[in-house]
Amino acid sequence: MSYFDHMQHLADADKQYIWHPFTQMQDWIKKDPIVITEGLDCFLKASDGRWYLDGVSSLWVNIHGHRRKEVDDAVKAQLDKIAHTTLLGLGNQPSIELAEKLIQLTDERFAGLSPRLSKVFYSDNGSTAVEVALKMAFQYWIHKGLPGKQHFIGIRNGYHGDTVGAMSVGSVDRFHATFGPLFFPSFKAPSPYCYRCELTREPSECGMACLSALEGLLKEHSGDIAAIILEPLVQAAGGMIVWPEGYLNGVRELCRIYNVLLIADEVATGFGRTGKMFACEHEQIVPDIICLSKGITNGYMPLAVTLATDEVYNAFLGEFRELKTFFHGHSYTGNPLACAAAIASLDIFFSDKTLETMHGKIAVVQDALQDIASLEHVGDVRNKGLMIGIELVRDKTTKEPYPWDEMIGWQVAYEARTESVIIRPLGNVIVVMPPLAIDMDNLRHLMYVIKKSIIAVTIKEKEGV
Ligand SMILES: *Cc1c(COP(=O)(O)O)cnc(C)c1O
């Protein structure tokens, strides 16, 4: 079979055998998919022979680029020892070394602040990291003698994963509406989404009314609340919604006052995405429980951690017969290959000076966004670090959105593909989230292609009206 026949076979077999996530397969099978065969640095090679710029870090997971020698070597070296062994009843070397590194890292990044994160619980992905956090918080209050604290508060537009517990505390209606009857009940506080304030206030005069609304919930229900769960600073899947300064700090304070735990879901924001190692650092707060996943292995392998304080951990200590054990675990918990990749990836932050070199890149992005903001159908541009959202609107004055079924975000993404750039939108929000290791020239090019694609699509759209 020739190379191209082989690639055509792959495309056909994809359509025949694979059910893709978040994908209307009836549309999918009408076109040949882009099949990725290789990667290098910030680029992906496809079966058509072209190299594409990876504008969304292979769905927000890649940090230092594809095929990083240090990570490749770490995984290969671990393969020569053992690929997998369990943490249920045994320890393993890479999981111990990674846990030690992670706690050293949080100690360093949150120095002088309290509480202190001190324990690492492993799982496989962002959703499981969240499930672990929810179950931990729930059981914690039972051990503390306050079993009435069984419920959670989520923030509207929050996304915490696709498992049933994570969906129950999330609220991106587009994704979640179908499964509503399955969810356990949880409270939802208003989203600090200033461009479309659900309390219809103006940021200049509101005095953070959304925070007051959250306090109202706590005043009435804190006896029933185990924890507040939130995505610190950027609600990512909800549309790259960047929070106003002070909101996160305000929530931390309310948690203290009303005696509820704070769970920070940093699955998307963690590992440098916002310009600091953890988003919570921006407001100098530490949660009681933190969930990390996506960037942890440089996008090499599925791995997640839920970090907790001694206060939480100690509540689970007791005699065997007391059944205070945390009854949770997964087959691949603490997988050695994934932990080895994670250790290597953490080291690169220092050898590459990843966070230090981001300042210049963030400035480039902000310049480009300012320019893009002036386009006729761009309603809002927002970023925190290299998490970037561009919200397209039909009418800039009224903020009228494009209708959902017009797929305006996808039109822009497909346009960008003709320029060899891969992006994936969230509804009408164009998402740009390159690997942090992207160089200045490629970053400028990426932002240029985004702008050009928005113009091409929104002008064409206009002529059709
Ligand atoms: C992606 C994401 C998750 C879910 O992670 P998966 O690995 O896809 O299960 C949870 N929380 C946040 C904030 C995320 O962005």
Per-residue confidence band for 173, with pLDDT thresholds at 50, 70 and 90: confident
**Atom 5 of ligand 1, nearest CA residue:** 126
pLDDT at 370: 98
Query: What's the average model confidence in pLDDT over 410-427?
Result: 97
Residue 384, C-beta contacts closer than 8 angstroms, at least 6 positions apart: 233, 234, 242, 269, 274, 275, 279, 282
The CA distance from 160 to 393, in Å, is 26
CA-based Rg of the chain, rounded to a whole angstrom?
22
Calculate mean pLDDT across residues 154-183. 91
CA distance 390 to 380: 6
Segment 140-167, tens digit of pLDDT: 999 999 999 999 999 999 999 999 999 9
Q: Does domain 75-351 have CATH number 3.90.1010.10?
A: no
> Model pTM greater than 0.85?
yes
Residue among 159, 172, 176 whose CB has most ligand 1 atoms within 8 A, to mutate: 159
List pLDDT tens digits, range 212-258.
Answer: 999 999 999 999 999 999 999 999 999 999 999 999 999 999 999 99
What tokens appear for 93 in the block? 């070397």
Is any atom of ligand 1 closer than 6 Å to the C-beta of 273?
no
Q: Is the pLDDT of residue 175 over 80?
A: no
pLDDT over threshold 50, residue 365: yes
Is the CB–ligand 1 distance for residue 127 below 6 Å?
Answer: yes
Closest CA to 256 of 279, 230, 287: 287
- Band of pLDDT at residue 321, cut at 50, 70 and 90: very high
Residue 291 Cα to ligand 1 middle (Å): 9
Residues 6+ apart with CB under 8 A from 171: 154, 155, 156, 157, 158, 188
Residue that the structure tokens 């989520």 belong to: 154
What pLDDT does 465 receive? Answer: 46
Banded pLDDT at 459 (limits 50, 70, 90): confident
| Ligand 1 probe mutation, 57, 60, 155, 160, most atoms within 8 A of CB | 160
Pinpoint the residues of the chain covered by CATH 3.40.640.10: 75-351
Pocket of ligand 1 contains residue 295 by CB under 6 Å? no
How much is the pLDDT for 461?
A: 54
Distance 266 CA to ligand 1 centre (A): 9
Q: Which one-letter DSSP state was computed for residue 433? A: -
CATH number corresponding to 34-64+353-463: 3.90.1150.10
CA distance 110 to 437: 24
Cis peptide leading into 192, omega within 30 of 0? no
Task: Check residue 462 and give its pLDDT.
Answer: 57
Which residues of the chain does CATH 3.90.1150.10 include?
A: 34-64+353-463
Q: How far is the CA of 268 from the centre of ligand 1 (A)?
A: 7
Write the pLDDT tens digit of every residue in 56-84: 999 999 999 999 999 999 999 999 999 99
* Alpha-carbon separation of residue 444 from 48, 198, 369 (angstroms): 25, 34, 11
- CA–centroid distance, 127 to ligand 1, in Å, is 6
Average pLDDT over residues 452-463: 83
Residue 107 tokens, joined: 């100690």
